[in-house]
Amino acid sequence: MRRRNALAKGFKASLSITERAPDRSALAKCYVLRNITHMDSVPIPCDTESVENDRRWLVDHGRQDDDSLVDPFGRQVTYLRVSVTDRCDFRCVYCMSEDMTFLPKSDVLTLEELDRICSAFVSRGVRKLRMTGGEPLVRRDVMQLFHRLGRHLNSGHLDELTLTTNGSQLGKYSVDLYAAGVRRINVSLDTLDPEKFRAITRRGDLSQVLDGIRTAKDAGHQIKINTVALRGVNDNELDSLLRWCGDEGLDLTLIETMPMGEIDEDRTGRYLPLSMVRADLQERWTLDESDYQTGGPSRYVTIRETGQRLGFITPLSHNFCESCNRVRLTCTGTLYMCLGQEDAADLRSPLRLAPEDDELLLASIDEAIGRKPKGHDFVIDRRHKGPAVPRHMSVTGG
Ligand code: SAM
Ligand code: SF4
């Protein structure tokens, strides 16, 4: 472990922004390749021939394309989630406090800058982009960003452009989102009871969200519902949610509440392990195992009675890090390599230092991926007071 840290440190030093190495991508690969293939042999010569041999070995074994982003644990990063704003028209009780302080607008990247960073990731093998927030659809002119990013779908460099939304603006934007190339949308919805919905979101209107979902379906989008399972709040409603999703032809994913950011209540009492939820659902529904994958952390079953899929995201009761292919960008240009860790990379500085040239930006991305951690250490119990990470989910997006 100490050896790995020493290597990581050396690598980081060699890639500092001020001290420009002659071939950063070779150095980045050198670090990655050496950690994958020769963990026990140090010191490691980083000469071009050995790097090239290792690269060929990885390509031969289907592990790496030429320019792709591979982390020190051999996981290829193909999925970027982008929080385009930290602002939101809701204040969901498990996500935000009532009195949130949002970032000054001057700290936030422009849409052009977000496009540039996303495009840099696409050029390095990212195949899926998800816009999130905060509420992505409350950012002014956000459709311009969707339309710009849509060009990567047309060129074949991107498989999917998608978003996670609370649904409040879908009535307004569904058609335009479809025109930009979006086909699948995740809508967060924790209850079908209008009063409970208002209580959870503190200001949302359920009928507006349901109308938005209908408009999105009519526009041709495939909708998946995301529901945070909350003990004593919606645990008695999961059957009706499953039934409603069956009737509407929607897949559903259940999520465990994660200890992120200070909120106005203790999350411990609301935490509901999905292993228990699943065991309970199995008493009334037939859950057939499914190998369906969306590139996200969800594990799916098919509900035989409805024919729809049910996903489980279980960061606490079953850690999903071993197959992690994602990194997350905030609206200020900070890249988090893990949702549950604080280590981050500043991409705004290299972006702005060289407005016409992406070399520095790409080197910073390489460097960041070179220190993507193995996983998160989320724990939620009464002995661990306060959030595991101080930032709210709305900073890095869900
Ligand atoms: N505003 C959009 C929405 O609600 O879909 C996108 C951002 S929101 C942060 C993304 C997802 O994170 C939502 O599905 C939300 O329910 C979930 N979320 C927020 N805080 C969470 C927490 N502490 N634990 C688990 N999920 C959380
Ligand atoms: Fe807003 Fe989404 Fe957080 Fe709810 S979960 S407060 S909708 S960002």
Confidence (pLDDT) at 322 = 77
Say how many Å lie between the CA of residue 389 and the centre of ligand 2. Answer: 17
Return d(Cα 270, Cα 279) in angstroms, integer: 18
Confidence (pLDDT) at 50 = 60
In angstroms, the Cα distances linking 207 to 86, 217, 218, 256, 359 are 24, 15, 16, 25, 48
Confidence (pLDDT) at 60 = 53
Enclosing H/E stretch for 288: strand 287-289
Confidence (pLDDT) at 292 = 82
Say how many Å lie between the CA of residue 248 and the centre of ligand 2. Answer: 23
Say how many Å lie between the CA of residue 230 and the centre of ligand 1. Answer: 13
Encode the chain (398 residues) as per-residue pLDDT tens digits: 333 333 333 333 333 333 333 344 443 443 333 333 333 333 444 555 665 565 555 555 444 556 899 998 899 999 999 999 999 999 999 889 899 899 998 899 999 999 999 999 999 999 999 999 999 999 999 999 999 999 999 999 999 999 999 999 999 999 999 999 999 999 999 999 999 999 999 999 999 999 999 999 999 999 999 999 998 999 999 999 999 999 999 999 999 887 666 666 666 677 888 889 999 999 999 999 988 876 667 789 999 999 999 999 876 655 567 778 999 999 999 999 987 777 899 999 999 999 999 999 999 999 999 999 887 665 544 455 555 555 666 666 56
Indicate if ligand 2 lies below 6 Å from the C-beta of 251. no
Say how many Å lie between the CA of residue 187 and the centre of ligand 1. Answer: 10
Pairing of strands 79-83, 309-313: unpaired
C-alpha 69, offset from chain centre: 16
Confidence (pLDDT) at 1 = 35
Bin 298: left if φ > 0, else alpha if -120 < ψ < 50, else beta. beta
Taking residue 207's Cβ as centre, other Cβ atoms within 10 Å add up to: 10
Name which residue sits closest to atom 25 of ligand 1, judged by CA. Answer: 257
Q: Is the peptide bond before 43 cis (omega within 30 degrees of 0)?
A: yes
Residue length, the chain?
A: 398
**Model-level pTM?**
0.81
Residue 393 CA, closest ligand 2 atom number: 3
Residue 91 CA, closest ligand 2 atom number: 6
Confidence (pLDDT) at 18 = 32
Substitution candidate for ligand 1 out of 228, 256, 264 with most atoms within 8 A of CB? 228
Name which residue sits closest to atom 8 of ligand 2, judged by CA. Answer: 134
